[in-house]
Amino acid sequence: MKTTDPVTLDKGTYLADLEPGQSFGPALFAVRSVTDRGEETRAPQLVATLTDCTQPGGRIAKVWQADSHTRAALKVGQIVQVWGKVDTTSPWAGELTLERVEAIAQPDDLSEFLAPPPEGYTRAWKEFCRLIRSVQNPHLAELLKRLLDKQSQCAFADAVAARGHHHAYRGGLLQHTVEVAALCEATCAVYPYLCRDLLLTGALLHDFGKLTEMEHGLAAGAFTAEGCLIGHVHGGALRVREVAVGIKEFPLPLLNALMHLILSHHGEGAFGSPKAPAFPEAVVLSQCDRLSAHTTAMHEAICKAPAGQTSLWHQGNWIYTGDLGDTPRPALPLLSSACLESQGAQESTTPNNFATARCIPVRGLVAAGRGEESAEYSEETLTVVPPEEGADYLVRVTGDSLQGAGVQAGDLLFVQQHATPRPGDLVVAWLPGQGGVVKRFAGDRLESAHPDYPPIPLTEEVRIQGKVTGLLRPL
């Protein structure tokens, strides 16, 4: 199959910019799906869905007469260079007709072809980490630590939660998981007899099997062989059991209860649940999962409704899309590809504060106390999702002078170099004869949150090396 070096090519036209009657090409798009109708048909022989960052939901593209070269090029997950036009006649108005297709070697940077992540992603990530840390049962905490390691957490960062029903966008699995776990946590306040640690662990892991059930890159939503043959419910439960049996003295009743939460979280056999909920925590998890899925799906449909339309046929029902009288529906953040498409190209291509997981160096230790404990250099790196303000490196904290500010020994701090601190910001500074310290910037001095450590005047010898933009507490 012929390929072209993508380094010599520009992206070309974006899908959101294509208007009826317009010719285009060369332009680069990703192939999300393909239907081959065969050789003998009056309909288009190939029907594909092409995507890019401006229309992650994709646009329909047709090939009326497809030779073997075109069939080989149009594969799910492939980057293609295409030429064609936008149809103007019914019933194909707005769809693309492809006249030439070439397969392209996949570039290292796929940002032009992947869907923008949802707004609020960074907040969801922080909540995800908080919920994991909040589980106190030592066996369940160890299980979460092993299952949600660096690799799995990075996979959560980009994973979709479904093919199309709900949270079917990059970062959707994280968003859905956090919603379900937060709902379960809130329910524990109403029903104090619930086992919080068991319920939250089940919520955090209920869709763990989706990491391997579906593809999560250019072919996001396509089922893998494991997805077709096993599915995420059984696959997730099997993976949990596999890891749990390797934890010393993991109680069998606790493992059986956790597996039941995963196996019953769809609630009914008609919805793909091999077991019906058999104890209160399982009932809560199945209802919270349903609440997150259906509320989000309906919200996405409302966002997609044309302006002024008050009703919309959605999944077998009419839903109301109008205002709520004296209590107008608040303007909610864009959450999915459906929402992005409904807003048009101008908003859907606007950059947001999402930062994908990347490898960040750890610059040794800084002291939240006396600087003689610090060490500036280290060869260690971590793959993490930086905070919204960004980060150039991480430092590991020793000492106790900032415990009053919520910083503990062993914490990792995100640091942005060359940022101008404001009073109240945490900063990393270098002190002559002592080394690196982390303190709170107070204009003309550096302060600790511990009474045993006096303020440090800002003199010419004190160098502020960076501003702290976030905290990462290892599990």
Residues with active-site annotation: 401, 439
Alpha-carbon distances, residue 277 vs 64, 265, 266, 280, 282 (angstroms): 50, 7, 9, 8, 5
The residues, any chain, with a CB within 8 Å of residue 258's CB and separated by 6 or more, are 140, 143, 198, 201, 202, 205, 240, 244
| Nearest-10 crossing angle of helices 252-263, 138-147 | 50
The helix/strand/coil state of 125 is helix
* Rg, the chain, Cα only: 26
Integer Cα distance of 262 and 275 in angstroms: 9
Residue 239 is inside which H or E element, if any? helix 232-244
Which of 381, 312, 382 is CA-nearest to residue 342? 312
Integer Cα distance of 263 and 39 in angstroms: 44
Q: How many C-alpha atoms does 188 have within 13 Å on its Cβ side?
A: 17
Q: How many C-alpha atoms does 432 have within 13 Å on its Cβ side?
A: 6
Write the burial class of residue 390 (CB in 10 Å: 0-12 exposed, 13-18 middle, 19+ buried).
middle
Alpha-carbon distances, residue 462 vs 417, 445, 459 (angstroms): 15, 10, 5
Integer Cα distance of 165 and 295 in angstroms: 11
Strands 358-367 and 393-398: parallel
How would you label 174-186 residue by residue, b for 16+ Cβ within 10 Å and e otherwise? Answer: bbbbbbbbbbbbe
Which of 338, 340, 387, 472 is CA-nearest to residue 121? 387
**Tally: H helices and E strands in the chain:** 13, 17
Q: Residue 441's beta-bridge partner residues?
A: 446
Would you say 412 and 405 are in contact if contact means Cβ atoms under 8 Å apart? Answer: no
DSSP class per residue in 275-334: S---SHHHHHHHHHHHHHHHHHHHHHHHHHSPTT--EEEETTEEEE-S--TTSPPP-PPP
